[in-house]
Amino acid sequence: MIAWPNETDERRAGFNLDVPPNGYAWWYVDAISDDGREGLTIIAFIGSVFSPYYAFARRGGAADPLNHCALNVALYHQGSKRWTMTERSRRKVARNLGSFLIGPSDLGWDGRALTININEMSAPIPGRIRGRVRVVPQVVTKNHFVLNEDGNHRWWPIAPRSRIEVTLDQPSLSWQGEAYLDTNAGDAPIETGFTHWEWARGALRDKTAILYEAERRDGSRIDLAITFDAQGNMERFTPPPLLPLPRSGWRIERSARSEADARIVRTVEDTPFYARSMVETTLLGERVTLMHESLSLDRFKMPVVQAMLPFRMPRRK
C-alpha cells in the first residue's frame, strides 16, 4: 500500500504499519456510480474500532489489534442494501507493504490502483458479497493531519479524487463511478480521543471537498474544510453555516455545512451510534451530494449498544 507522507516514519507505512496494542488503523473507500443509482463503502480494519470483541479484550489491558481485523462492505442500491462485517483473528490475517489479507478477502496495491477482492457473508441475514473492486486514484496526496494534541489519532486523505470499477458476481453488479480513498490510524481506542464527529466529502466540478469536524474528549474541537484538485493541490476554505438535519431513526444528531439549504437524500446506514447519509448541499457555489457520516462515541460505549453489535458483526475464530 502507499506509504504515509513521512516515509522515514516506519510506524506510518502501508498495510504493514506498526499498530500498537489497543490501537487501530483502517483504510476507507466510498463511491457513487456515475448514474447516481449505486453506492458503496468498504473499510478494512486492523484493530476494528467498532468491534465489541476488541472493546471487551481491552478491558483486560493491552489487546492485540491484529486479533481483531475485519473487512466491512456495504452496497447501496435504490430500495435495497447489503452489509457485511465479519471479524477475523490474527491466524486468518497476513499483510505486507502492498497487500492485506483478511480471511477470504484481500486488498492489494500495485502502485497504480487499489484492488479489493471480496468474499464475505452478511449477517444477521445470510447473503454473499463476492467480486472485485478496483480504485484508481487520479493523484496521491502528501497531506496528512494530526487530529488531536497528543498526536495519537491521524488521518491521511490518500486519494480524494479517484475512479472506481465494481465487478461483482454476488450480487450481480457492474458499474463505474467517482470514488474516494483515505486512511486513519491511532495509538489508542478512538472513543478515548473523541465524543462525536461528523465527516463528509463530495465531488465538485473540478475538485473534491472534505469537511472533518470532531469534538475531542477534552472538549476542544477540530474543524477542517478543505478541497483537493486533480493535481492533488489542497486548499482550505471558510466553511458555510452549519445547518441541522433530521436525526436518524436511532436519534443520532446530524448536521451539514451549506451555503443554501441542505437535505438528506437517503440514510444508508442507521445504527444506535452511527449514521451514514447522502446529503444534498451547496458548497463553493456548487450543488453537491455528500457522503456524510455522524458518529456518537458516547453511544458506542454504552453497554446495551455493545451487547447489540455481535448480531451485525460476527467473529470467526
List, for residues 245-270, the tens digit of each pLDDT value. 999 999 999 999 999 999 999 999 99
Tell me the average pLDDT across 70-84: 90
What single-letter DSSP state applies at residue 4?
P
* pLDDT at residue 124, as a whole number: 77
Cell of 118: 471480496
List, for residues 223-238, the tens digit of each pLDDT value. 999 999 999 999 999 9
pTM: 0.94
99: left (phi > 0), else alpha (psi -120 to 50), else beta?
A: beta
Residue 249: count other Cβ atoms within 10 Å of its Cβ: 11
* pLDDT at residue 92, as a whole number: 97
- Give residue 9's pLDDT band: very low, low, confident or very high (50, 70, 90): very low
* pLDDT at residue 288, as a whole number: 96
* pLDDT at residue 6, as a whole number: 54
Tell me the average pLDDT across 275-299: 96
Residue 175 confidence (pLDDT) above 70: yes
- 102 vs 30: CA distance, rounded Å: 19
CATH class of 10-316: mainly beta
Residue 233: count other Cβ atoms within 10 Å of its Cβ: 12
* pLDDT at residue 7, as a whole number: 46
* pLDDT at residue 266, as a whole number: 92
Residue 169 confidence (pLDDT) above 70: yes
List, for residues 112-158, the tens digit of each pLDDT value. 999 999 999 987 788 999 999 999 999 999 899 999 988 899 999 99
- 291 vs 250: CA distance, rounded Å: 19
Segments making up each domain of the chain, as ranges: 10-316
- 131 vs 87: CA distance, rounded Å: 19
* pLDDT at residue 5, as a whole number: 58
The backbone torsions φ and ψ at residue 309, rounded to the nearest 5 degrees and listed phi first, read: -65, -35
* pLDDT at residue 3, as a whole number: 54
Cell of 61: 489491558
- Give residue 312's pLDDT band: very low, low, confident or very high (50, 70, 90): confident
Tell me the average pLDDT across 166-176: 96
Residue 12 confidence (pLDDT) above 90: no
* pLDDT at residue 317, as a whole number: 73
Answer whether the bond into residue 124 is a cis peptide, omega within 30°: yes
- Give residue 306's pLDDT band: very low, low, confident or very high (50, 70, 90): very high
- 293 vs 254: CA distance, rounded Å: 8
| pLDDT above 90: percentage of residues in the chain | 87
Residue 58 confidence (pLDDT) above 90: yes
Residue 11 confidence (pLDDT) above 50: no
- Lowest mean pLDDT of 83-92, 179-188, 303-312, name the range: 303-312
- Give residue 8's pLDDT band: very low, low, confident or very high (50, 70, 90): very low
- Lowest mean pLDDT of 50-64, 75-89, 158-172, 191-205, name the range: 75-89
Q: How far is residue 225 CA from its own chain's centroid?
A: 18
Please list, in sequence order, all residues whose beta carbon lies within 8 angstroms of the beta carbon of residue 83, skipping any fewer than 6 positions away.
72, 73, 74, 75, 122, 269, 312
